[in-house]
Amino acid sequence: MDSGDELRAKFMEFPYVSGSQRNLMVELLSSVDSRLGSSLQPCTLPPDVQHFENPTGSARASLHLRSGLPSSQIDFILGGWIHCELPSGGALNITSLSAYLKPSTDAPHFLLELIQSSPTSLVLILDLTPRKDLILYSDYLKTYYEDTNLDKHRQRLQTLPQVKPYLSPSLYIRAVVSPTAILVCIDTEDDETTNVEDIIRDHVGPIAKELLQFWIESCACLERRVGEAERDYLAERDRIIKTKTIEVDLGSSFPRLFGQEVADRVLDVLKEYYSK
Amino acid sequence: MDSGDELRAKFMEFPYVSGSQRNLMVELLSSVDSRLGSSLQPCTLPPDVQHFENPTGSARASLHLRSGLPSSQIDFILGGWIHCELPSGGALNITSLSAYLKPSTDAPHFLLELIQSSPTSLVLILDLTPRKDLILYSDYLKTYYEDTNLDKHRQRLQTLPQVKPYLSPSLYIRAVVSPTAILVCIDTEDDETTNVEDIIRDHVGPIAKELLQFWIESCACLERRVGEAERDYLAERDRIIKTKTIEVDLGSSFPRLFGQEVADRVLDVLKEYYSK
């Protein structure tokens, strides 16, 4: 069986995506390691959940999950990649990084997903997910989204002609993200001078790194005073967010990509972490 | 002084907008009258709040507000139009219809706004505004937005090449609308065969009428059992929605359009209705 270090090295290879996407993911995960590593446990996922594939080998994936130490505000951080050959001849490649905080703080969670289903098209989801109802808690909207001018990242990206708004088919996903969420489709099919790889390197990368930096310093590392009743509220709302994320995102795609048996094995383990 | 009937007739003229926009507004208000009229009081706004203009006469507006009777689930229904000559030579025309329910039901509010700042460009906001946090109350999302397939209206409109997503500059507005909200900009500048008037008549109109019909039958007229604690929650969340709507929407534009004195007179009266 592979050792923890070997499994982590295999995860960090991101073997199926372009150079700029791989570099971005490695840089983001290195930032997490260097700034938050001392607050995190090593990955405790079973080896066959850290790497798995479907029976025919046409779909492969790697997951790396690190829980926060008891003293940390971090619940867990999950990185992953999925590669799946498509019947049409191309491939679907997803790389993601999500980070959840504990109810000891009300600061937003972090979410990044890069979904590439063709060489000329990329869906980008990048957000600091709110932990509270932004209507009932208007201070929260002000503190994390208005006063920080968080919308500037989306505005910057939206100036590119290849970038179009992306609307998730899931109403739950539309409802859970923040009003400054970056949900875009980057399409370079009609563009002979710029490709998706360039746009990741020159535009998506700098924005993702800046947002992760902000999340690390102002959300994960900054202590917030949260009262008892508020903790219960956050814990319950987070429980729903995590249950729904498994159900809507992974639960619907994993059986299709990896077959029911592999999907069940992986999802059962993930559910334990998501429901802690 | 004008009588109530004369004031209402002046309001219903919608004198500055295109035929198709006027017809649509008159049809929507007639539906409200015929189906809900017996549950509503006559308009009790002072005459100088039902019609007003700025000192130079370059900006005019009309408002018509009817409160629900004590036995009704309707809090109040507000229709309005604003016309403002622009320094550039054109004009800004807004027509709107919003309808708020009481905390005796948790069904969504209704919101329609048509904002035309040039003959070739229209912003449309059409939504059933949720009364509850859609994450904490996932049943609510299912009942009013998923099971009803409410997204089909947005999908239908989005197939037109002249229709582009519209993102409000206000993060509060982005947060308060539902995940099926229609927030679009209709632009016909590069189109020689179709104009905004056609699109209102053939596409916006049928959708707005269908959505209002749904709201009247399934929200305003259907009784829901709401417990005591839930009523308090709805009352508090509605109070914030109504305060913010005055602040973000009318409070920021009225002084600019009508001067501080007229704006204060109108807003002071509206605030009474919005804070009841």
Q: Which residues pair with B184 in a beta bridge?
A: B124, B165
Which residue is closest to A149 within chain B, CA to CA? B171
Contact flag B136-A236 (C-beta cutoff 8 Å): yes
Partner-chain contact A171 B180, CB within 8 Å:
yes
pLDDT confidence of B190, banded at 50, 70, 90?
Answer: confident
- Calculate what percentage of chain B has a pLDDT beyond 90: 89
pLDDT above 90: residue A140? yes
Other C-beta atoms within 10 Å of A225: how many? 8
Return the pLDDT at B270.
95
Question: Which residues in chain A are closer than 8 Å to B136, comparing Cβ atoms?
Answer: 133, 236-237, 240
User: Under an 8 A CB cutoff, do B151 and A171 touch?
Assistant: yes
**ipTM metric:** 0.94
The pLDDT tens digits for B45-61 are 999 999 999 999 999 99
Please count the residue pairs, one from chain A and one from chain B, whose beta carbons lie less than 8 angstroms apart.
63
Min Cα distance A8 → chain B (Å) is: 34
Asked whether the predicted pLDDT for residue B88 surpasses 90, the reply is: no
Sorted by where each begins, the domain ranges of chain B are: 4-232
Q: Residue A251's pLDDT is what?
A: 87
Q: pTM surpassing 0.90?
A: yes
- pLDDT, average across residues A252-263: 94
Among A138, A167, A241, the residue with its CB nearest the CB of B135 is A241
CA distance B148 to B146: 5
In tens, the pLDDT along A207-220 reads 999 999 999 999 99
**Cα B83 to Cα B62: distance, rounded to the nearest angstrom:** 9
Give A236's contacts in chain B (Cβ within 8 Å). 136
Q: Are B75 and B30 in contact (CB under 8 A)?
A: no
Helix or strand (DSSP H, E) at B145: none
In this structure, is the dihedral angle defined by the CA atoms of residues A65, A69, A70 and A76, taken in order, positive or negative? negative
Instruction: Report the pLDDT value the prediction gives residue B276, as an integer from 0 to 100.
Output: 76
Across the range A1-30, mean pLDDT stands at 93
The verdict on a CB contact (< 8 Å) between B134 and A241 is: no
Percent of chain B with pLDDT over 70: 99
Whether B244 has a pLDDT exceeding 80, the answer reads yes
Place of tokens 């980008």: A124
Once rounded to an integer, what is the mean pLDDT over residues B245-259? 90
The arithmetic mean of pLDDT across residues B205-231, rounded, is: 96
- Give the one of A145, A165, A237 whose C-beta lies nearest to B135's C-beta: A237
* Chain segment A154-204, per-residue pLDDT in tens: 999 999 999 999 999 999 999 999 999 999 999 998 777 889 999 999 999
DSSP state, residue A68: B
Residue A94 has pLDDT above 80, yes or no: yes
Are the beta carbons of B145 and A171 separated by less than 8 Å?
yes
What is residue B4's predicted lDDT score, i.e. its pLDDT?
85
Q: Please report the pLDDT score of residue A1 as a whole number.
A: 52
Give the single-character DSSP code of A167. Answer: -
Find the chain B residues whose C-beta atoms sit closer than 8 A to any C-beta of A.
Answer: 133-136, 138, 141, 145-146, 151, 165, 167, 171-172, 174-176, 178-180, 236-237, 240-241, 244
The DSSP secondary-structure symbol of A81 reads E
Helices (H) and strands (E) in chain A, counts: 11, 8
Burial class (CB in 10 A: 0-12, 13-18, 19+), A83: buried
At A24-65, the pLDDT tens digits run 999 999 999 999 999 999 999 999 999 999 999 999 999 999
Cα B80 from Cα B95, distance rounded (Å): 6
Number of H helices, E strands in chain B: 11, 8
* pLDDT surpasses 70 at A261: yes
Q: CA B227, B233, B239 angle in degrees (round to 5)?
A: 130
Band the pLDDT of B1: cuts 50, 70, 90: low
Residues contacting residue A66 through CB under 8 Å, at least 6 positions apart: A40, A41, A42, A43, A76, A77
Q: Tell whether the model's pLDDT for residue B250 goes beyond 90.
A: no
pLDDT digits over A111-125, tens only? 999 999 999 999 999
Residues in B touching A167 (Cβ below 8 Å): 165
Judged by CB atoms closer than 8 Å, whether chains meet at A136 and B241 is answered as: no
User: Integer distance in angstroms from the first to the last C-alpha of chain B?
Assistant: 27
Which of A136, A151, A175 faces B237 most closely, judged by CB atoms? A136
Question: Where does B4-232 sit in CATH, by number?
Answer: 3.40.1500.20
Distance of alpha carbon B123 from alpha carbon A3, whole angstroms: 58
Q: What is the mean pLDDT of residues B247-276?
A: 92
Q: Which of A206, A63, A186 is nearest to A117 (CA)?
A: A186
Mean pLDDT (chain B, rounded): 95
Angle (CA) A126-A131-A137 rounded to 5° is: 120
Structure confidence at residue B146 (pLDDT): 97
Per-residue confidence (pLDDT) for residue A249, from 0 to 100: 83
**Cβ atoms B212, B221 nearer than 8 A:** no
